[in-house]
Chain A
Amino acid sequence: QGQLVQSGGELKKPGASVKVSCKASGYTFQNNGINWLRQAPGQGLEWMGWISAHNGDTNYDQKFRGRVTMTTDSSTSTVYMELRSLRSDDTAVYYCARVAGGYPLYPFDIWGQGTMVTVSS
């Protein structure tokens, strides 16, 4: 069935970077892409980008391009999302979510539990 387990909450100062991990289990890691989304307090879902677990190809939302990097480690079935130059409005719960199929045009069928990132001086 599959599971995604994310790293724990982070408290960062403005201008710092954060790196969140998402470890996959229970399915063949390379078969499905992973997306990163975020949800600010009391707000809706915002898509940040996608990474192929097969070859590492990425596609980032224009809003985050230049500030976000997504990577994979096939040896540990883990995906990482690094966000740099953090601002207070980056405070949010960050989710990883699996694409249900082998290419991006599928819904998200498995979600991580979320990682709270707080940016505060």
Chain B
Amino acid sequence: EVVMTQSPATLSVSPGERATLACRASQSVSSNLAWYQQKPGQAPRLLIYGASTRATGIPARFSGSGSGTEFTLTISSLQSEDFAVYYCQQYNNWPPYTFGQGTKLEIK
């Protein structure tokens, strides 16, 4: 099973600033890595797939990078609606699909 590790657990950033979230896989997952955003009381929403491709309707301020075992989600200029929990997921070595434990992005 591929173990996904996200860092940091909590990230405090001011609106308008840049946020960088990290995700590491215990073995290579190629570029088969997705990022999801989850707000309280809501289902997760797909943001990024293929490590760097934005899903339909996702603003350009969200970008993903990396391949193999190291990945990054960057939000270039934080808006109020971006404060949420973010999960990475690998879908390369299935079954099982595995998720990171999440990074909570909070307002500083």
Contact with B along A82-117 (1 / 0, CB 8 A): 000000000000010100100011111101111000
A107–B99 Cα distance when bound, in Å, is 11
Q: Taking chain A's interface residues, is the majority helix, strand, or loop, or is none over half, making it mixed?
A: loop
Answer whether residue A66 sits at the interface, using C-beta atoms and an 8 A cutoff.
no
Q: Taking chain B's interface residues, is the majority helix, strand, or loop, or is none over half, making it mixed?
A: loop
- Kindly provide the distance from the CB of A30 to the nearest chain B CB, expressed in whole angstroms: 20
Q: Which of B46, B92, B95, B101 contacts A108 (CB under 8 A)?
A: B46
- Kindly provide the distance from the CB of B41 to the nearest chain A CB, expressed in whole angstroms: 9
Measured CB to CB, the nearest residue on chain A to B100 is A44
Q: In the complex, are the beta carbons of A108 and B34 less than 8 A apart?
A: yes
Q: Which of B32, B95, B101 contacts A50 (CB under 8 A)?
A: B95
A97–B96 Cα distance when bound, in Å, is 15
Answer whether residue A45 sits at the interface, using C-beta atoms and an 8 A cutoff.
yes
User: Which residues from chain A contact B72 at a C-beta distance below 8 Å?
Assistant: none
Q: In the complex, are the beta carbons of B46 and A44 less than 8 A apart?
A: no
Q: In the complex, are the beta carbons of A112 and B43 less than 8 A apart?
A: yes
User: Which residues from chain B contact A114 at a C-beta distance below 8 Å?
Assistant: 43
Chain B residues 60-108 with CB under 8 Å of chain A are: 87, 89, 91-92, 94-102
Residue of A44, A62, A100 most packed against chain B (CB within 10 A): A44
Measured CB to CB, the nearest residue on chain B to A96 is B43
Q: In the complex, are the beta carbons of A105 and B92 less than 8 A apart?
A: yes
A113–B43 Cα distance when bound, in Å, is 6
Q: In the complex, are the beta carbons of A44 and B91 less than 8 A apart?
A: no
Chain A residues 36-81 with CB under 8 Å of chain B are: 44-47, 50, 59, 61-62
Q: In the complex, are the beta carbons of B102 and A44 less than 8 A apart?
A: yes
User: Which residues from chain A contact B43 at a C-beta distance below 8 Å?
Assistant: 95, 97, 111-114
- Kindly provide the distance from the CB of B68 to the nearest chain A CB, expressed in whole angstroms: 17
Q: In the complex, are the beta carbons of A105 and B32 less than 8 A apart?
A: yes
Which 5 residue pairs are nearest across A and B when measured between Cβ atoms? A107-B34, A111-B43, A107-B49, A47-B97, A45-B99
Chain B residues with a Cβ under 8 A of chain A: 32, 34, 36, 43-46, 49, 55, 87, 89, 91-92, 94-102
